[in-house]
Amino acid sequence: MAGSMRHVKWLNFKVPEQKADPSSIRQYFEEYLPDDIITYDVEVVDDRFHSRYNVKELTYEYRIWKKDAPTRPLYERQRVNLVEGVLDVEAMRPWGKAFFGRT
């Protein structure tokens, strides 16, 4: 299975004003966070901003994995739903369209 995966998370936190330099914070993250966590950007926001409550867009991704598939998802095994039965894809299509693009 070839491909890539990108899961983007936004977070907010408060720092003392004298340490609020975005480039220093990003450098600190790059030095001390594990290699599988990458910081793309750090920016100063309004004190009332909250990454959970001020969100403008959410994307939900549902993944299923057939139990009898020839390979198993090593790196995604905690992020997929295991399905043992037969999937009726045609019956699922209308429901998938119902969710696509909704806000």
Return phi, psi of residue 90, to 5°.
-65, -40
Q: What SS3 class is residue 35?
A: coil
Domain ranges of the chain: 8-56, 64-99
Rounded to a whole number of angstroms, the CA Rg of the chain reads 20
Under 8 Å between Cβ of 79 and 63: yes
Return the sign of the alpha-carbon dihedral for residues 98, 99, 100, 101.
positive
pTM: 0.52
Cα–Cα distance measured from residue 63 to residue 79, given in angstroms and rounded to the nearest whole number: 7
E-strand spans in 12-100?
A: 64-66, 81-83
Q: What is the pLDDT of residues 5-57, one digit of tens each?
A: 456 778 888 888 887 789 999 999 999 999 888 888 999 888 899 988 888 87
Q: What is the pLDDT of residues 59-93, one digit of tens each?
A: 777 777 777 777 777 777 777 777 888 888 898 88
Give the helix/strand (H/E) hosting 66: strand 64-66
Q: What SS3 class is residue 65?
A: strand
pLDDT of residue 102: 54
pLDDT of residue 101: 62
